[in-house]
Every structure is written in structure tokens, then in C-alpha cells.
A and B are shown apart, each in its own frame.
Chain A
Amino acid sequence: MRVALFVPCYIDQLRPGVGLAALDVLEAFGFDVVFPEAQTCCGQPFLTAGESRSAKSLFHHYLDVFEDFDQIVTLSGSCAATVRCQLPNHVPGSRAKAIASHTFEFCEFLVAHDVASRNLGHFPHRVGLHASCHALRELGLGTPSELRHLGRPDPARSLLSSIQGLQLVDLTRSDECCGFGGVFSVEEEAVSCRMGLDRLADHQLAGSEVITSTDISCLFQLQGLGAKSQASGAPGFEFRMLHVAELLAESLAGITSQSTATQQENGGLHGTS
């Protein structure tokens, strides 16, 4: 099956290893992946900052780039939510609706294609899943703690729990926000950092070795905080932070003993360096 890969701008520029890992994973399961090179950004940072007109121009750009695909996989729950839930409110018409509804979050896409029942390899670590607010509450992937009675399935969780040896830890607050939130992270710096530090403490208490998420932007926040508090002599938060795609690529790599394309140099698999 032919799928288009949407690599969010911050992954493209700051952590390309996530994109390479996703390619590896998708290809390993037989998907024919295309990366349309004209893609840039989904428009979310502009929308959340209040610049809807700019966001709209990027929405149109997204629609032009992905016009010809009926399966678009994005490596961020947040970007997927922007495209699927916000874009159609700003760009009227059936074309926009169709393209938006063909956009999927990475784990959501894999689970929809029954990948969770395949051999996903071995990853013998204690893993904390950081829930992405937008995957959870906009896309409805998973059950927010405040809506427990809904019992919605969580694709990221089902993938992770299918990996042999992987132990998902129980967090005190399973879905509290990391405090990133785009411009919020710098405009409301104090609260944003407090939110992130509280998340790290929760993972430490739960004994996570690895923190994983569908959204690397959340992990930038947590990693940045952890590394700095460690450098300043505060209680160290030593976690590896991996996008789910990176984690899957690593665990799949063990199956064939081939190394995956994610390497240190590419900003790939590193801890709180």
C-alpha cells in the first residue's frame, strides 16, 4: 500500500532520526512510503499563536502537497489533530475534508493495519508512555483519565504492549500535560517548566527507563528540562526519550539483527545528553 509520510518541521530539522525510524518501520511492514518533498509544516504553531491567516496559508500548502494520497501518516499526534480537527474549520470544502480525514497519526495507522498483532521484536525495558494531549483528546486515541468510562482504545499503548520484554510502567497521572504547548512553553515559561518537571518526577517514581511518546515535541520539553536540571546538580532525571517510531525501529532491528538507520549523528537515539 502506498502511503505518504508527513514529517513535522521540527522532526525534519531537529530530530531526523524519527523520520528515518518511521520509514524503516513502515517499510518493514510492507508499506510503500513516499515522502513528498514540498511538505513543510502543518500550520499548528501559527494557529495556536493566534495567527490564523498564516495557519490557513500552510493548510492550503498541506492540501496541495498531499492532494494525491489517500493515506497520509504523520509522526505527531498534535500535527495530525491540527490537520484532522482544525484544518476543515478554516478551509471549507469537500477536498479539504477528504484530505484531512486521510491523515493519520503513526500508531493509529499501524494499529488500523493490524500491525499490533505482528512480531514487533524485543525491547527489554521499563517504558513510560507520555500521552500526547492532542492524540488523546482531539483525535480520541486512548481514554483520558477524566473520561475513563469511555474506554477508548489507545493505539500507542497496544503497539507497546505487543513488544516482547517491554514493561509499561504505571504513572500516578497517566495523562497530565508536559507543558510544551508551542509558544506557551516560552510565554508561560514558569508554569510550563513546572509542568514538565512534575512529569519527570512522576516517571522517576514509576521507574521508567525510557519515556516514549507519539509526539517528539513533548519529549523535547522533557528532555531539555531533565538534561538541564541534571547539569545544574539537581536530582538527575536519566531517561532515554524515544518517539514510538524510534522505539519500534529499535525493537524490530533486533529481529533481523540489521541495524536500523537511526544513528547518533542524526539526532536519533540518544538519552538526556
Chain B
Amino acid sequence: MGHRERAREFVADVDRTRWHDQALWFVRSKRDQAADLVPDWEALRDQASAIKRSALTELPELWREFEEHATAAGTVVHWARDAHEHNEIVAGLLRDRSVRHVVKSKSMLTEECGLNSYLEAEGIEVIDTDLGERIVQLRGEPPSHIVMPAIHLQRAEIGELFAKEMGSAPDLDDPTELTDVARRDLRDRFLKAEAGLTGINFAIAETGGFVVVTNEGNADLGTALPGLHIASVGLEKIIPQQKDLAPFLRLLARSATGQAITTYTSHFRGPRPRSTQELHVVIVDNGRSQLLGRPAFREALGCIRCGACLNTCPVYRRSGGHSYSATIPGPIGSVLETSRDPATHAELPHACSLCGSCTDVCPVRIPLHHQLLAWRGELALSGHHPAWRRFSLNLVAWLFVRPTMYRLLGRFARGIGRRLPPTLREDLLPAWTRQRHLPTIPKSSFRELYRERQRQPKRPRPQAQPRPRHERNG
């Protein structure tokens, strides 16, 4: 089942769709206000996208620099070609230290790699500590949003889940109380964990350090106690210098939730001092270097995972994250996931009306809707579009470059359309007419009427008069 069918199921629940749309629109509005308050928002976007663009041209150098400085600071650096290698490296580290309990803060990369199930198969317990992630973990489903993983759920549903899983009072739906329940439940797990896993928002070549941002402080807590911290990072997440962090940190939280800054911005550089803690960083390619080799789509690697393009997307808001059946939904997901596996995700670049608002909000100026358009072209050429679709479209185009053919075809189609009984006419185009009437079909085309108009003696046409000064209002 592709996006269309899943979206249809989502939309069928009118109330939930409205609620989902409005919840995300609210987040987008907060983004708008936050962006409005920064005088040089556009300059900041320019700066951030320039840093990313140039970093993407020198990834090998930057990572070598990172590795050198990180190693000097006592961090162990690992390289993973793909998801399997990544999972095996992490599992190996845990195995060697007989770790049975792991806490993990939010990381889309480990979602992408399917790390949780890999570790669980080894008998290692993985607890997601971000509240939203914990909720979807308990429900056994993937996150539906990259910043707000459980945005598809209403409070009452979370109350029910917690009652079942954590024994809280049934019909709890106060956000503060629900958070308290989760916090109490998580506290023990933080204490029990022998290793903390995190993602990385920004790795810094110059220092060999990295930054993790959260709103809940769960990354700090999860790495403060255990003797082992493993941080997984995608190949694209590196920036050259410490000072480059500034534009990104200013853009990220504002774009994501409209906050001026995330509640926690945690800097790591080597293991905790005066401790026996170990710090490992796993750098993962998993298809990224291939995307790097495609100039039309390369810039998508600059994504800082703020989620703004999801929040603004009229399709995402009305179809829900799960309708994309992909780790990353929404406009950026449609670009990235299609690059990863075009056959599976061939519908995603079409789940877009090309309104372009994703491109407008993207803090690093990824031309998202133009990339989706470019993907459609690629998919057609690589045989991922149905043959009949291609044939009929190209036939119409062939007729349309021939004005006489176009004129005759138009006349013929209108003639048929006007003669058919309305119900039959509608039955012929069910995808349009199930919910929409067809436009009234006129007898004559514009060009026919234009000819008539030209033949008529020049009749006086309405002449616009200059407006008296005092009446002007615009």
C-alpha cells in the first residue's frame, strides 16, 4: 500500500485529520513568529546553507580532522558503511561490556538503521527516553514526525497507553500529569542503564566535539550516569568550526517549534573527565555518499532535521507521518527516502501539490519542491511510472505541439463531453468526480470566440477612465 491509500485512510477520519492539521499549523505559526523576530532571518538562512554547501564538498577532510581531534580527546571513532555495519558496531560494543540495558535519546539515524530491533534480538533492552519516542515505542510503531514523534496521537490515547503500560490512573489526559507518569517510569530505567545512546546534531571538525540538542534533557541524563556513551552520526552532519554552530542553533529551534533555543544544548568532547566513561562515535554512510554524487539532490544532505517542512506541508498535515511508510516523512523524507529506494517510494515525490512552502521555510534553503519535481522526472525515465500513464501523457503532448491537432482534439472532446449524459461523463473520470463536479463544458473554445470577435466590426469597447484624484485609495 502506497502513500495514496494510506492517506485516504487517514483523511477518512475527518475529525482527526482536522485536529492533526491544526496542531501542526499551530507549530508552523509559532515558527513564523519566531522567524519574524529575527531581523536577519534570510541572511541567517544564507549563512547556514553556505556552510552546509561547502561542508558537503569536503566531507573526507572534515571527518579526518574530526577524527584526529576526537581521538586526541579520548573519543573512539568508528566508521560504518551501512545500517548493518552500524548496528553491528554498536551491538559489539555493548556485547563486549556485557551491557543489558540501554537508554537512547532521540536519533532519526538509529531509526533509519533499525537499531532497536537489532539490539532487542540480542537480548538487550533499549528504552527510548524522549517522551514522544517512548510513547511510540510502547505502541510498537515508528515515529510519525522527526521532531514530535507522537504528534499523531491525542492526549486521551496517551493516557490509555500509560494506564496499560505503566499502571497510571485510567482517563488521565492532563499533559503535566502524563509527563509525570512517564518521568517516574523512566527514572528507574535511567538509573539501571549501563550505556547511553544518542544521536548527533552537529559534529565539529575543528574540535572533534559534537552537540546534541533536546528539549527534555534526556540526552544529558542518559549519558551522565552510564560508563559508556555511543553517539551515532550521519556522514552529512559535520560542520567545520565551532563558530559555525551559531547560525544553526539560532535557526534550528526557531524553525522546529518556534522556540528561541532548545532547552538543552549539550556539548560533548571526549569522555566525561575524571571518570572511566568511554565515548564512541559511529559515523554512518548508509547511502549518503551516493546521494552526494547526485548534484540534483545533493543539497538535501544539508538537512538539520528541524521538521519545519513537515509542519508547513499541506499534504503531510492531512495525511499523517505514517502515510509515508518511511523513516523520515514529509517533503524532506520524500526526497531522501526516494533516493534510498526509488522502487519502494516511487509515490512519494507525487505526494506533493508543489505549493513550495517547504522550500520557503527550510532554514538551510534546500529547494525541496524542485527536488521533488526533479525526482518525478527521474522516476519516469527509470521505469517507475506505469507505462500507460507515460504513453497517454506523451501522446497528449505530441498532439499539443501540433496546433491543428490540439484544436481538433479540443473540439472533439468538448463535443463528446457536452453530448454525454452528465452521470456517464462523471463516471468516466471517477478520481476527479467522486468528490468534485466537472467544470461546465462550453460550446466554443476561446480561440473560436476570438475569431468571431475579430470578424465583428470594431464595436466600442469599455474604455477605462482615469480616476479622479480624490477617489484613489490605492
Asked if A99 is an interface residue, CB under 8 A from chain B, the answer is: no
Segment of B164-172, B192-200, B283-291, B457-465 in the binding face:
B457-465
Residues of A within 8 A of B35 (CB): 146, 149
Residues A133 and B446 in contact, CB atoms below 8 Å apart: no
8 Å CB contacts to A: which residues of B425-459?
429, 431-450, 453
A161 and B353 in contact (CB under 8 A), knowing A12-B445, A58-B397, A191-B318? no
Is A2 interfacial (CB 8 A cutoff)? no
**Is A146 touching B449 in the complex (CB atoms < 8 A)?**
no
| Complex contact B390–A51 (CB within 8 A) | yes
Beyond A146-B312, A256-B463, whether A186 also contacts B432 by CB under 8 A is: yes
In angstroms, how far is the closest chain A Cβ from the Cβ of B372? 10
Question: Knowing A38-B403, A193-B435 touch, does A265 contact B443 (C-beta < 8 A)?
Answer: yes
Q: A35-B447, A41-B400, A190-B7 are in contact. Are A46 and B350 (CB under 8 A)?
A: no
Stretch at the interface among B99-107, B181-189, B357-365: B357-365
Q: Which residues of B contact A177 (CB under 8 A)?
A: 314, 353, 355, 357
Q: Measured between C-beta atoms, what is the minimum distance from B384 to chain A in Å?
A: 9
Q: Of all chain B residues, which has the CB nearest A177?
A: B355
The residue among B437, B443, B462 with the most chain A CB atoms within 10 A of its own CB is B462
The contact string, 1 if C-beta is below 8 Å from chain A, for chain B 87-127, is 00000000000000000000000000000000000000000
Q: Which residues of A contact B385 (CB under 8 A)?
A: 50
Residues of A within 8 A of B472 (CB): 117, 162
Closest to B389 in A: A49
Of all chain A residues, the one with the shortest Cβ separation from B375 is A50
- Is A183 an interface residue when CB atoms closer than 8 A count as contact? yes
Instruction: Say yes or no for B401: interface residue by CB 8 A criterion.
Output: yes
In this assembly, does B341 line the interface, its C-beta being within 8 Å of a C-beta of chain A? no
A20 and B466 CA atoms in complex are apart in Å by: 22
| Alpha-carbon separation in the docked complex, A50 to B393 (Å) | 10
A272 CB, nearest partner CB in chain B, Å: 8
A contact residues, total (Cβ < 8 Å): 106
Contact of B376 among A13, A15, A50, A196 (CB under 8 A): A50
Asked whether any CB of chain A lies closer than 8 Å to the CB of B467, the reply is: yes
B41 touches A (CB below 8 Å) = yes
**Contact residues in A for B448 (Cβ distance below 8 Å):** 16
Determine the main DSSP class of B at the interface with A. helix
Residue from A20, A148, A189, A223 with most neighbouring chain B CB atoms (10 Å): A189
Q: Which residues of chain A come closer than 8 Å to B471, judged between CB atoms?
A: 119, 164
* Complex interface residues of chain B between 288 and 312 (CB less than 8 A to chain A): 312
Q: Residue B473 contacts which of A49, A121, A162, A186 (CB distance < 8 angstroms)?
A: A162
Cα–Cα distance between A189 and B396 once the two chains are bound (Å): 22
Inter-chain contact A252/B464, CB cutoff 8 Å? yes
Contacts of B433 in A (CB 8 A): 228
What are 26 A-B contacts defined by CB distance under 8 Å? A9-B400, A12-B447, A13-B442, A20-B450, A35-B447, A39-B403, A40-B403, A41-B406, A47-B373, A50-B376, A50-B378, A51-B390, A119-B471, A137-B360, A177-B357, A181-B353, A188-B7, A190-B12, A190-B319, A191-B319, A194-B17, A195-B353, A223-B439, A224-B432, A227-B437, A267-B441
Q: Supply 4 further A-B pairs (C-beta < 8 A) apart from A13-B442, A162-B473.
A: A52-B377, A118-B467, A189-B431, A189-B435
* Chain A residues with a Cβ under 8 A of chain B: 7, 9, 11-20, 23-24, 27-29, 35, 37-41, 43, 45-55, 57-58, 60-61, 115-121, 133-134, 136-138, 144-150, 158, 161-162, 164, 173, 175-177, 179-196, 198, 220-221, 223-225, 227-229, 231, 252-253, 255-256, 258, 260-261, 265-267, 270, 273
**Nearest 4 interchain pairs by C-beta:** A181-B353, A224-B436, A50-B376, A54-B397
